[in-house]
Amino acid sequence: MDAFDVNLPRDIDACHELILELDRERRRQAAVIAQQQETIAQQQETIDRLQSDVDLLKRTLYGRRRERFVDDSQQGLLFDSTIVGADDDSGSGDDDESDDDEPSPERRSSKGRGRRLFPELLPRKTVRHELDEQEIPEELRNDPTARRFFKKTSEQLEFTPASIHVIEHYQEVIVRDEASGETTIATAKKPPQLIDAYTGPGFWAHLTASRFADHLPYYRQEDILARHGCRIGRGTQQRWLFALALAVAPLVELMRRLALQSEVLGCDETPVKMLAGEPPGCTKTYLWSTVGDNAHPYDCFHFTPDRSRDGPDEFLAGFQGYLQSDAYTCYERIAAADDRIVPVGCWAHARRKFEEIHFSAPSVRTHTALGYFQRLYDIEDRARDSSVSQRGALRQREAKLIVTEFHQWLLEQSERELPKSKLRAAIAYMTNRWQSFACYLDHGAIPIDNNRTEAALKYAVLGRKAWLFFGNSQGGETAATFFTLTKSCNRHHVDPFAYLRDVYTRLPTTPASDLPSLLPDRWIDEHPQHRLQERADEARQRADRKRARREQRRAHAATPS
């Protein structure tokens, strides 16, 4: 008999007990397996999430940042081919890269560029190249009828380094000795200066534009000045700019008040490190941007030591209208506390969440969502040059139906997704505040996204990347003041140096009632020679090329296959 059979119990009760024990062991092992499978599923979910984060990080560090939506052969199954096209440039923010994979009707050829014409406003010097007597042929040298003249053959740009010069001020003095022994003196007055310093308005304008338009750190500007023969320490530069910021504060406050009168105000924020603490270290402070509409065209900045609601409560005080921002709770609570403020969502922020998921894990659902965004942005692209009323009518006629359909689709997909999935989080981002996203349909003046404010904030981010941190809170306030001036100049394509030099010269004698004449948009109307026309033309041409590509895509999508 087998040894295994010998060890089996012979008693019925013992056999039942053995069976029950084996069943309990099976159940225990099944429970352990189920727990392990749940652990494996959780770990796999964590791995997928971390892999997605790594992919996005690698894309941020090494890849193209354009949030493009490239079509595939399945797109025709999702929407009418007459509406959805091959890609989407409209929702990709303010990216300036060109599309090499799409034909452009205005792409410039490398040949036949033609002769470069230099602006007439540039000063010109004449250099005459004369013939040596030995180079003149004998028959021309002795011919009295031969005519000699100079022919202009070319123009060449040359550079003369910036120079620092000293202005010696002499005040006229008249003195008369009286018979009584007293002396009568009359002295000419010097023109008032904005701050007490041994430099002039042009020098201050150079420091300001270098720091807050060209984003040069103080130490780098110190070296540049030293090359021109005058080293000025970074501490001195900082003190001068702080004094100048206090002096121009009335003009900046006027710009901020006018921006708050906008019907639609964009708002956003970015962190900036500040040296502080014991032992010395860094703390996180914030720069906030408030961008006015076309009737109040000023890009304003504000500094706060933290990200709390106290800062926006202060610089948004008195505003009433549409406040467009991301979903930071600070803005939402401000709007909830004041019924005069209507929160407006940013479709670019919402689209970005779906695009990131589509980048790491493409699916039919993410493709469908991006298709909805593309259809809405196509409508905005066609309405870009329309009036406010025409744009609003077009949105009501075409975009409203798409928005309603998109909302219903989001609700349906939310029920199918797992609670912790990224797609469900992206859907919840929109559905939880759907009224603010649909708000742009009600008014043609409301932009579909807040990209204009993000673009303004990136102007300050360029400076942050160069000088890394604020030295103290005064440095933060100074930066907010001058970013307001220089970014508003940038918005109107104004030469910041020429503008600031004139402001620094005129401000000491300008009464408060005449401050509006120093606003950048009004100043450039009086000084059109200081408009950076090439930049304005370049921006317009780039926008025209993008629009032509989008129209080409839509026309291609509308053509039956």
Q: What are the per-10-residue average pLDDT scores of the chain (561 residues)?
A: 63 85 90 90 83 78 65 44 39 42 48 66 86 83 83 85 86 88 88 91 95 94 90 93 96 97 96 80 92 96 94 94 93 92 95 90 91 94 91 95 96 88 92 95 94 93 92 94 97 96 95 95 94 86 85 78 58
Name the residue range of residue 397's domain. Answer: 347-444
Residue of 197, 342, 171 whose CA lies nearest to 265: 342
The first and second tokens of residue 199, run together, are 């430099």
Residues 440 and 507 in one domain: no
Q: Give me the pLDDT at residue 5, please.
A: 56
Question: Is 396 among the domain residues?
Answer: yes
Residues 423 and 357 in one domain: yes
Question: Is 90 among the domain residues?
Answer: no
The first and second tokens of residue 431, run together, are 């559905």
Q: How far apart are CA 289 and CA 300, in angstroms?
A: 6
Question: Is 239 among the domain residues?
Answer: yes
* 531 DSSP assignment: B
Question: Is 527 among the domain residues?
Answer: yes
First vs last Cα of the chain: how many Å apart? 80
- Determine contact, residues 302/290, Cβ cutoff 8 Å: yes
Residues 498 and 436 in one domain: no
Q: Give me the pLDDT at residue 95, please.
A: 42
The first and second tokens of residue 217, run together, are 């750190």
Question: Is 91 among the domain residues?
Answer: no
- Determine contact, residues 535/495, Cβ cutoff 8 Å: no
Q: CB under 8 Å to 19, separation ≥6 — which residues?
A: none
Q: Give me the pLDDT at residue 42, please.
A: 84
How many other CB atoms are there within 10 angstroms of residue 132's CB atom?
6
User: 529 pairs with which residues across the strands?
Assistant: none
Last residue of a domain, one of 404, 429, 444: 444
Q: How far apart are CA 255 and CA 121, in angstroms?
A: 31
What phi and psi, each to the nearest 5 degrees, are found at residue 304?
-135, 150
- Determine contact, residues 390/383, Cβ cutoff 8 Å: yes
How many other CB atoms are there within 10 angstroms of residue 200's CB atom?
15
Of the CA atoms within 13 Å of residue 227, those in its CB half-sphere come to: 7
- Determine contact, residues 435/390, Cβ cutoff 8 Å: no
Cα 204 to Cα 161, 255, 257, 428, distances in angstroms: 18, 21, 26, 50
3-state helix, strand, coil in the chain (%, to 5): 55, 10, 35
Question: Is 365 among the domain residues?
Answer: yes
Residues 436 and 502 in one domain: no
Q: Give me the pLDDT at residue 424, please.
A: 92
Give the number of domains in the chain: 2
3-state secondary structure of 288: strand
Say what the alpha-carbon torsion angle 251, 253, 256, 258 is, to the nearest 10 degrees: -70
Question: Is 234 among the domain residues?
Answer: yes
Question: Is 124 among the domain residues?
Answer: no
Pairing of strands 264-276, 321-324: parallel
The count of residues in the chain is: 561
3-state secondary structure of 272: strand
3-state DSSP of 430-495? HHCCHHHHHHHHHCCCCCCCCHHHHHHHHHHHHHHHHHCEECCHHHHHHHHHHHHHHHHHHHCCEC
Residues 353 and 440 in one domain: yes
Residues 352 and 414 in one domain: yes
Q: Give me the pLDDT at residue 373, please.
A: 95
